C-alpha cells in the first residue's frame, strides 16, 4: 500500500497528490512516469511524475478527471492509499544524459498544454538546478485551468502564459505564442519540448517543422502493464513500431504518426463512456436498453 | 473396474456450458477415481516416466501412495521435487514428458500422471497440508527477480535450505504467466495459484510487488546496497512479437499478451472490474501455440466467433493436444495452412478484415519442421473486427541492459549454464524463459531448481 500524504485540487477537474513511494523517489528522473492502481478492482493508470523528493521518499502526481477511474481517484484524501504504485517507468528525458556544457549552449523551449504542465515542470526544474534557464509556454483553456504557474515561474527563464479564450495572459493557442516568439520577437530555439493533449502536440510539431526546430514530444497512449510486455502503447515512429512505455514516452515529434495515435486512443471510448455512466448513475443504472451492457 | 488399457476418464464441464463461462474446464479426479487410475501403474524398477519429468518427480513412488490411499504421503514425495504440483498437474504437456515415456502407453493409454499429481496437490490445498521448511536459517540473503514458475521454484528450494529469500515482482500480482497468461478456465487463480504461492510464503519467502528491476532498482544495487549475496533472474520472456504487416497498428489488433493480461490479470471479463476489453464479434487469432489457444478460447467466452489462423498443418501445432481438443469441442474454427498478409482498416482506424494466403508445406527447415511456402494467387479476405497476434515472445532487455557484465546471446536471452544457472556475472544466476526464450512452465521450474542448487553451492564455497 502506498500512502497519500497530500491531496489538493489545482483547478477544475485537476488534482495533485504526494504519494509515499521510496523506491520510485530514489531512482526516478525527469521524463519518467508511474502506474497507479487504486484498489483490488481498479485499472492500471499511467501518470507522469510531476515532482519528487528523494529524502522524503515521495512522488508528486497530477491528474485530470477524464473518466470513471480518475473521477473515483479524485475523491481520495490525504491518509488514503493506492493499492499499487509502480515505477519509475519509461526512459528519462534525453538531456539528463547529455553533456552539461553542450546543454548550456542550447536554447530550449518547453510548450505545456493543460495538464501537460505537470510533466514539463520536473524537466524545467532539473535544468534550472543545473544552471540552465529554459523558456516555457504554458497554455490552458481558460484562466481557472492554468496550473503550476507559480512553480514554473520560479524555475523557468521566461514564462509565457496563454489562454484559449484570452481570460488570462496572452490570448490564443500555444502554437500562436510559439510562432509569435520566433517570428516576431526574434527568439531562437535549438530544441522544443511539447507536452499536452495529442492534438496540441501534433500542431506544435507541424509548426516547429516549418520553423525547423527539432521537437520532442511525450506520448500518452493507452497502457496496461507499462513494462513492455503487451504493446498496447505501440506507436508508429518513422519506419519503426515503438512501445511508448519502454522506448519512450518521449520521441522525435516530427516522426510520430499522430493521426494513428489519436485513433488508437479511441479504442475503448464506448467502454469508458459506459463506465462513466455507471459511476454517475450508481444504483439507478441497470441498463436494459440493449446498448449499454447493463444487466438485462 | 474399467479397461486397464485405458485411462480412468476425467470429469469435465460440458463444452456447450463451459464455452460461456470462465470456470475450470477439467474437474479432476475424486479419490476413488484417483486410486483406480493409480492401480494402473505397474511400478517399473527403472521408471522411464521419471526421466521424462524435467524435475524428476519420483512418480511411481507417489502413485504407490495414492494407490493405498495415503494422499498426504504422496504429497510429500512430490514435494521433494516440485513446489507447484497443482499448477504442473494442470499445465504441463505430459504427452511429451512423463506420460510420453510411460510403458503402459506402448499398448494402451499411459497412466494419467498429470491428473494424479493434480489430485494429490488439490487434496493438499483443500486439507491445508503444510510444506516442510528449513529447520533453521543460515543467515544468507538471496534475491529472486520475477515471481513466475522459475522464480517461485528457486525461492521455495532456497528457503527450504535456510536462505532468507526476497522475490521482486514488477506487476501487482504474484505468479507471472500463471496469473496474466494462462486463463482461469485452465488454471484457477484464487483456488489454485494464490494458494500454491501461499505455500511458498509459508516456507518464509518474502515478496515485494511493483518493483521493476532495471527501473525501480538494479541488480547491482541489490547486491551493493541491500546486502543480497546472490541473485536469481527469472524474469521470463514477455516481449510480444508482431508480424510487421500493413494495418497492424489498427484498433482491434492486439498482442495475445495484452488480450490475456486484460482478461486474466485485470479480470476484464468480469463487469465489476474497471479494466475494459474490446472483445470483438469475429476474431482471428494468428499462431498455433498454447498462448494462441488460450487467447482464442478467451475470445470465444467473451462471445466472439473465433478463427485460429496458423501457417502450418494440424500436425505441427505447438499447443498441447488436450488444449487443441478442448478448443475444437468449444467451437473454435481452425484455418490451417493459412497466413495473414494484410489487415484492412476503416477511416476510424478500426479493423474490418484480414487478407490471408494459403500455404503448403515444403522441405524441412533447420528446426526439422517442413517449411510453409505461399501458394501464389491464393489470397482471400476474412471479415473480422479483431486480430490477436500470438507469434511468440522474447526476453525483455530491461534487465540485461541495466546489469554490468551480464552476457546475452543474439536472441537477447541471458547466457546461463544449464546445470546450475550460472551467468557471466559472479553471484548472478538465471533460468526459465529469460534464458531459453518462451518454453514451458515445468522447464522453467526445472531451471529454477537447478539454479537454487547452483546458488547453494556457490554460497557454501564462498
Q: How far is CA B58 from the centre of its chain?
A: 22
Q: What percent of chain A has pLDDT over 70?
A: 95
Sign of CA dihedral B333, B331, B92, B105: negative
A253-257's contacts with Cβ under 8 Å and 24+ in sequence apart are: A253/A194, A253/A201, A253/A204, A253/A205, A253/A208, A253/A215, A253/A216, A253/A217, A254/A205, A254/A208, A254/A209, A254/A214, A254/A215, A256/A201, A256/A205, A256/A217, A256/A219
What's the whole-number mean pLDDT along residues A231-252? Answer: 94
pLDDT per position as a tens digit, B30-74: 999 999 999 999 999 899 999 999 888 999 999 999 999 999 999
**So what's the pLDDT on residue A283?**
55
User: Can you give the pLDDT at residue A295?
Assistant: 43
Which pLDDT tens digit goes with each residue over A177-205?
999 999 999 999 999 999 999 999 999 99
* Whole-number CA gyration radius for chain B: 23
The whole-number pLDDT of residue B171 equals: 96
DSSP B10: P
Sign of CA dihedral B453, B457, B460, B462: negative
The answer to whether the Cβ–Cβ distance between A230 and B215 falls below 8 Å is: no
Encode B149-161 in three state secondary structure. HHHHHHHHHHHHC
pLDDT attached to residue B320: 87
What is the model's pLDDT at position A294? 44
- Residue keyed to cell 519528487: A52
Q: Which of A119, A151, A97 is nearest to A46 (CA)?
A: A119
Instruction: Please give the angle made by the CA atoms of B438, B441 and B442, to the nearest 5 degrees.
Output: 120
Instruction: Specify the pLDDT at position B365.
Output: 80
Candidates A2, A24, A227: best to mutate against B (most CBs of B within 10 A) is A227
Q: Compute the average pLDDT of residues B210-216.
A: 95
Please give the helix or strand (H or E) that residue B422 lies within, else none. Answer: none
pTM for the predicted model, two decimal places: 0.89
User: How far, CA to CA in Å, does A147 sit from each of A14, A49, A70?
Assistant: 8, 15, 18
- pLDDT mean over A117-126: 96
C-alpha cell of residue B112? 494419467
Contact B232, B163 (CB under 8 A): no
Q: How many CB atoms lie within 10 A of CB A48?
A: 25
CB contact under 8 A, A87 and B262: no
CA distance B193 to B143: 21
Asked if residue B273 has pLDDT above 60, the reply is: yes
The pLDDT-based confidence of A282 (bands split at 50, 70, 90) is: low
pLDDT classification of B153: cutoffs 50, 70, 90: very high
Q: What is the mean pLDDT of residues A118-132?
A: 95
Q: In this structure, are residues B323 and B293 in contact, taking their beta carbons and an 8 Å threshold?
A: yes
Residue B243 in this model has a pLDDT that exceeds 60: yes
Task: Specify which of A81-95, A274-288, B393-407 reaches the highest per-range mean pLDDT.
Answer: A81-95
Residues 6+ apart with CB under 8 A from A179: A207, A211
Q: How confident is the model at residue B380 (pLDDT cuts 50, 70, 90)?
A: very high
Instruction: Give percent of chain B above pLDDT 90.
Output: 74
Q: Tens of pLDDT along A44-61?
A: 999 999 999 999 999 999
- B335, B328 contact by CB (below 8 A): no
Is B460 a residue whose pLDDT tops 80?
Answer: yes
Q: How confident is the model at residue B130, as a pLDDT? A: 82
Pick from B170, B242, B251: CB nearest A266:
B251
Neighbours of B426 (CB within 10 A): 11
Q: What is the C-alpha to C-alpha distance for residues B396 and B240, in angstroms, rounded to an integer?
A: 9
CB contacts under 8 A, B 216-275 vs A, are: 216-217, 238-240, 242, 244, 248-249, 251-252, 254-255, 257-258, 261-262, 266-267, 271-275
- Alpha-carbon distance of A178 to A169, in angstroms, equals 14
| Residue B281 scores a pLDDT above 50 | yes
Residues of chain A found within 8 Å of residue B170, distances taken between Cβ atoms: 86, 225, 227
Interface test with A, best of B147, B166, B172 (most A CBs within 10 A): B172
Q: What does the alpha-carbon distance between residue A167 and residue B111 come to, in Å, rounded to a whole number?
A: 80
Cβ distance of A43 and B274 shorter than 8 Å: yes
Using the predicted structure, report yes or no on whether residue A267 has a pLDDT greater than 90.
Answer: no
Q: Which pLDDT value is given to residue A272?
A: 75
Nearest to B326 by CA among B54, B7, B111, B90: B90
- CB contacts < 8 A, A to B, total 115
Q: Mind listing the pLDDT tens digit for each residue in B105-135?
A: 999 999 999 999 999 999 999 998 887 787 8
| Structure confidence at residue B1 as a pLDDT band (50, 70, 90) | low
Put simply, the answer to whether A241 touches B273 (Cβ < 8 Å) is: no
Cα A94 from Cα A247, distance rounded (Å): 12
Stretch (H or E) spanning B340: strand B338-345
Answer whether residue A293 shows pLDDT above 70.
Answer: no
CB contact under 8 A, A227 and B254: no
CB contact under 8 A, B258 and A231: yes
Confidence check: pLDDT of A274 > 80: no
Single out the residue of B158, B154, B168, B220 nearest to residue B460, CA to CA.
B158
Residues of A with CB under 8 A from a CB of B: 23-24, 26-27, 37, 41-44, 68-69, 83-89, 224-225, 227-232, 234-236, 241, 246, 260, 263-264, 266-268, 271-272, 275, 293
Amino acid at each position: 500500500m502506498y500512502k497519500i500524504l497530500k491531496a489538493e485540487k489545482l483547478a477544475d477537474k485537476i488534482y495533485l497528490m504526494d504519494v509515499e513511494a521510496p523506491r520510485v523517489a530514489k531512482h526516478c528522473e525527469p521524463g519518467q512516469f508511474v502506474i497507479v492502481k487504486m484498489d483490488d478492482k481498479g485499472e492500471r493508470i499511467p501518470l507522469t511524475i510531476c515532482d519528487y523528493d528523494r529524502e522524503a521518499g515521495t512522488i508528486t502526481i497530477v491528474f485530470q478527471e477524464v473518466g470513471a477511474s480518475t473521477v473515483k481517484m479524485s475523491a481520495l484524501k490525504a491518509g488514503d492509499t493506492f493499492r499499487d504504485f509502480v515505477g519509475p517507468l519509461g526512459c528519462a528525458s534525453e538531456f539528463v544524459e547529455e553533456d552539461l556544457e553542450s546543454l548550456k549552449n542550447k536554447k530550449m523551449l518547453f510548450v505545456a498544454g493543460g495538464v501537460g504542465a505537470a510533466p514539463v515542470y520536473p524537466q524545467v526544474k532539473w535544468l534550472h538546478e543545473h544552471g540552465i534557464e529554459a523558456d516555457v509556454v504554458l497554455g490552458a483553456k481558460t484562466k481557472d485551468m492554468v496550473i503550476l504557474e507559480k512553480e514554473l515561474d520560479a524555475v523557468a527563464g521566461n514564462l509565457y502564459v496563454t489562454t484559449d479564450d484570452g481570460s488570462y495572459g496572452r490570448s490564443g493557442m500555444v502554437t500562436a505564442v510559439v510562432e509569435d516568439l520566433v517570428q516576431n520577437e526574434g527568439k531562437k530555439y535549438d530544441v522544443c519540448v511539447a507536452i499536452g493533449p495529442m492534438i496540441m502536440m501534433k500542431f506544435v510539431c507541424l509548426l516547429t517543422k516549418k520553423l525547423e526546430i527539432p521537437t520532442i514530444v511525450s506520448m500518452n497512449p493507452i497502457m496496461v502493464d507499462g513494462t513492455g510486455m503487451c504493446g498496447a502503447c505501440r506507436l508508429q515512429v518513422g519506419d519503426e513500431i515503438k512501445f511508448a512505455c519502454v522506448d519512450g514516452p518521449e520521441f522525435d515529434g516530427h516522426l510520430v504518426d499522430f493521426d494513428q495515435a489519436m485513433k488508437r486512443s479511441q479504442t475503448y471510448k464506448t467502454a469508458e463512456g459506459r463506465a462513466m455512466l455507471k459511476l454517475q448513475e450508481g444504483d439507478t443504472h441497470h441498463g436494459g436498453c440493449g446498448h449499454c451492457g447493463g444487466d438485462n | 473396474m474399467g479397461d486397464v488399457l485405458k485411462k480412468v476418464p476425467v470429469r469435465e464441464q460440458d463444452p456447450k456450458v463451459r464455452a460461456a463461462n470462465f470456470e475450470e474446464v477439467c474437474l479432476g479426479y475424486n479419490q476413488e477415481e484417483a486410486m483406480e487410475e493409480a492401480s494402473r501403474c505397474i511400478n517399473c524398477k527403472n521408471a522411464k516416466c521419471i526421466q521424462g519429468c524435467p524435475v524428476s518427480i519420483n512418480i511411481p513412488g507417489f502413485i504407490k501412495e495414492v494407490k493405498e490411499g495415503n494422499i498426504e504421503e504422496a504429497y510429500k514425495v512430490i514435494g521433494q521435487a516440485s513446489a507447484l504440483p497443482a499448477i504442473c498437474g494442470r499445465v504441463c504437456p505430459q504427452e511429451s514428458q512423463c506420460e510420453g515415456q510411460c510403458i503402459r502407453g506402448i499398448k494402451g493409454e499411459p497412466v494419467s500422471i498429470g491428473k494424479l499429481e493434480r489430485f494429490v496437490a488439490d487434496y493438499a490445498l483443500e486439507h491445508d497440508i503444510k510444506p516442510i521448511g528449513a529447520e533453521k536459517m543460515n543467515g544468507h540473503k538471496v534475491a529472486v527477480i520475477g515471481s513466475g514458475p522459475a522464480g517461485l521454484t528457486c525461492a521455495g528450494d532456497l528457503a527450504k535450505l535456510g536462505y532468507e529469500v526476497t522475490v521482486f515482482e514488477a506487476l501487482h500480482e504474484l505468479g507471472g504467466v500463471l496469473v496474466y497468461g494462462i486463463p482461469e478456465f485452465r488454471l484457477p487463480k484464487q483456488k489454485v495459484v494464490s494458494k500454491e504461492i501461499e505455500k511458498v510464503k509459508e516456507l518464509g519467502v518474502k515478496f515485494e510487488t511493483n518493483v521493476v528491476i532495471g527501473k525501480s532498482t538494479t541488480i547491482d544495487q541489490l547486491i551493493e546496497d541491500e546486502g543480497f549475496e546472490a541473485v536469481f533472474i527469472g524474469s521470463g520472456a514477455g516481449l510480444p512479437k508482431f508480424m510487421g504487416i500493413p494495418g497492424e497498428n489498427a484498433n482491434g489488433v492486439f498482442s495475445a499478451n495484452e488480450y490475456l493480461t486484460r482478461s486474466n490479470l485485470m479480470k476484464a471479463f468480469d463487469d465489476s472490474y474497471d479494466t475494459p476489453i474490446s472483445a470483438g464479434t469475429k476474431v482471428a487469432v494468428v499462431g498455433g501455440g498454447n498462448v494462441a489457444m488460450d487467447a482464442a478460447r478467451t475470445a470465444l467466452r467473451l462471445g466472439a466467433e473465433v478463427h485460429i489462423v496458423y501457417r502450418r498443418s494440424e500436425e505441427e501445432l505447438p499447443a498441447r493436444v488436450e488444449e487443441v481438443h478442448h478448443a475444437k469441442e468449444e467451437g473454435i474454427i481452425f484455418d490451417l495452412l493459412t497466413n495473414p498478409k494484410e489487415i484492412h482498416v476503416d477511416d476510424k482506424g478500426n479493423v474490418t478484415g484480414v487478407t490471408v494466403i494459403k500455404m503448403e508445406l515444403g522441405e524441412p527447415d533447420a528446426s526439422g519442421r517442413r517449411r510453409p511456402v505461399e501458394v501464389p494467387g491464393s489470397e482471400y479476405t476474412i471479415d473480422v473486427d479483431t486480430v490477436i497476434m500470438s507469434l511468440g515472445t522474447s526476453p525483455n532487455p530491461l534487465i540485461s541492459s541495466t546489469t554490468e557484465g551480464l552476457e546475452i546471446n543474439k536472441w537477447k536471452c541471458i547466457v546461463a549454464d544449464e546445470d546450475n544457472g550460472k551467468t557471466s556475472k559472479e553471484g548472478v544466476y538465471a533460468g526459465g524463459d529469460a534464458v531459453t526464450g518462451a518454453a514451458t512452465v515445468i522447464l522453467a521450474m526445472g531451471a529454477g531448481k537447478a539454479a537454487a542448487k547452483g546458488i547453494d553451492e556457490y554460497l557454501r564455497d564462498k
